[in-house]
Structure 1
């Protein structure tokens, strides 16, 4: 991957505030599943519904796998779809599915609802991220969106865990249904359909090989995140920490995530994006190892906070790079594939490791996966042999802007 300036887009426009708000709402709803993994898997599916870690992880994995399949279907067709109609419909359907989970405890029914909700979220998030790639500054809009997600996460972790303890699993399902409903309303009212992406015919059909390495790197980082952070509540209990201490860690993690997202927006084009995406996975791997192997509460707090903040910081730089390399929007529209491919395997992999080898094994797995992610990003930075029309366009215009 190379640090390039944004390539030319058809119909370049000023980014209106209502449109940005709608996209940020869609972004937050589409990624709430990642943010909520500790509550979803640990507190709700395992703690409230009494599922074994492997079965609980399988439900989350089913949802995330459905997101991937949906995005694989919709992202390549981004330029040919009515995004302003499809997006609110998708989030409304997801909200209905989460509401339906309040009325059933049958595993097969829950699995079906998780699958349909995942398909809907994948569609909505593909439309949202693909349109974000058409903004005048995709990196900065992504930073704003991740900062908003961090604010939402603070409220989520501060309010929801006690509610789940008092009211049960339905408190979580109702909250998720509400988040999806708000996103459906915002995108229905203000989705920026006038933001135009360059059609594939103008940028060349073939994508540069660097893009694929970058996508793999993002997927490996999200795999690490879901595998460890999805069980952060259970890891805390394994260390012997109280429910109050673990709740504090979740809130602190949300607060800590505010700063990297905002900082990433300020450092756009000041820091080398290639360096950031190569170093980020290594920091995340170290945090994953420390959160499981550390022997103090302060280390647990710091490591848990790093897990989510490093991912957000690195992903914003990766999002900006990929958006600049592919003006058709197909790559950033595939963000759900990158994010959820890793995230889908994380809960299941973490559940299997925890059930058979103990929670300590998650740290060593995180170290290995982090190294693979760093190598993938590094290969993306070095592989320049597969230059394509997309790459050439981005590089030429980057030099012109430079």
Structure 2
């Protein structure tokens, strides 16, 4: 067993994944706080959150290229503590310019930590299984976070939301500094290839299949962020009871528990390219349901369905990328893929709402889902002639 696959290491990776991916759970509440309590319009709130996610994206782009050159642990620990400091400063500010700058700085710090965390997952013996475990952890974390933060916001001002984020980052920093091993000193990393081949691959350019898959994941995240950012606001616009909206957010968080472990269980039973090419259609269907319905039950089902889609599809994409690039560089760029899409989503969705209302988000999601299918189909075509990458992702 490698250092990465020890129980304490897995625990640290799970906590780091939850903290780094907190936007996946917190995004609808985040936007609700900025719009409902800071009184920004949808476009302004979208811009603030976009700057955080843009910071994550830029940090990940730089970090992924450096992943094989430095030890991961110092960057993960320092990133989380720096992010916590940025959120503490955010608590004391209410002006749009200062909030924007602090969100961007917090995003940079979070992106560094998350990128090195995902790169570390990619070096484990079974990356898809470990990523699935981390995905299950974020679902459990989501229930706790959503329930707690809704109770806090019902009693205190919206600024306490940022204190909650700061505490999460501090916890992640403490857990990783204690339990995460020094990956650079680990010489038991389970590559099948010889050391000389891995050394060549560390500097080798990504194949077309890798690039197509990365672009597809980016569009997947764009659709997710564009819809989930305004999940709470759509409920308010439909005049649902606030308690029912809170219940919908909790159900959304509960749903996040199941897709990742299910994807990990099915990794040797389903061709990942089938999931990648068919899954976006379900994402589009749930988006159209969410943005068109005035029925509470359908509203709850649509939000949960959108959450299920991105986690299930992305877990398969993560496993496929780890197979196509065993050096870990591609999966270390996972935050860049996710957050590039996520960064565009809130500002794009907010602009669409200002122009045409919530319904426009559903129609654009459908168009982007078709683009995802094209990109993932190009992955299949790029892999088929070579036969050196097992597209059924048989166990390592």
Query: Same fold judged by TM-score > 0.5?
Result: yes
Q: In the alignment, which residue of structure 1 is the partner of 2:12?
A: 22
Q: In the alignment, which residue of structure 2 is the partner of 1:39?
A: 29
Per-residue CA shift, 1:332-361, capped at 9, x if unaligned?
000011100000000000100011111121
Residue 78 of structure 2 corresponds to residue 89 of structure 1: yes
Q: In the alignment, which residue of structure 2 is the partner of 1:65?
A: 54
TM superposition shift of 1:13: 6.0
Q: Following the alignment from structure 2 to structure 1, what is the Cα–Cα distance between the partners of residues 199 and 81?
A: 30
Contact kept? 2:43, 2:351, Cα under 8 Å: yes
Consecutive unaligned residues in structure 1, runs of 5 or more = 1-10
3-state SS in 1 of match to 2:327: coil
Consecutive unaligned residues in structure 2, runs of 5 or more = none
Q: Following the alignment from structure 2 to structure 1, what is the Cα–Cα distance between the partners of residues 11 and 200?
A: 30
Q: In the alignment, which residue of structure 2 is the partner of 1:116?
A: 105
Residue 176 of structure 2 corresponds to residue 177 of structure 1: no
TM superposition shift of 1:267: 1.1
TM superposition shift of 1:384: 3.6
Q: Following the alignment from structure 1 to structure 2, what is the Cα–Cα distance between the partners of residues 395 and 290?
A: 36
TM superposition shift of 1:263: 1.1
Per-residue CA shift, 1:114-135, capped at 9, x if unaligned?
1110000110011100000011
| TM-score, length-scaled by structure 2 | 0.93
Aligned pairs, number: 386
Segment drifting more, 272-281 vs 330-339: 272-281
What is the CA RMSD across the aligned residues, in angstroms?
A: 2.1
Contact kept? 2:51, 2:104, Cα under 8 Å: yes
3-state SS in 2 of match to 1:169: coil
Pairwise mapping of residues 270-309 of structure 1 onto structure 2 (< 5 A)? 270-309=269-308
Pairwise mapping of residues 197-346 of structure 1 onto structure 2 (< 5 A)? 199-202=198-201, 205-346=204-345
TM superposition shift of 1:175: 0.8
3-state SS in 1 of match to 2:269: coil
TM superposition shift of 1:82: 2.2
3-state SS in 2 of match to 1:135: coil
Q: Following the alignment from structure 2 to structure 1, what is the Cα–Cα distance between the partners of residues 25 and 345?
A: 13
Q: Following the alignment from structure 2 to structure 1, what is the Cα–Cα distance between the partners of residues 373 and 155?
A: 42
TM superposition shift of 1:15: 1.2
Per-residue CA shift, 1:282-321, capped at 9, x if unaligned?
1011100001112321111111100011110111111011
Q: In the alignment, which residue of structure 2 is the partner of 1:145?
A: 134
Q: Following the alignment from structure 1 to structure 2, what is the Cα–Cα distance between the partners of residues 321 and 139?
A: 8
TM superposition shift of 1:163: 1.6
| TM-score, length-scaled by structure 1 | 0.91
TM superposition shift of 1:251: 0.7
Q: Following the alignment from structure 1 to structure 2, what is the Cα–Cα distance between the partners of residues 46 and 202?
A: 47
TM superposition shift of 1:385: 8.0
The 3 A distance-change label for structure 1 pair 358 and 330 is same
Match of 2:157 among 168, 178, 191: 168
Q: Following the alignment from structure 1 to structure 2, what is the Cα–Cα distance between the partners of residues 339 and 14?
A: 23
The 3 A distance-change label for structure 1 pair 133 and 189 is same
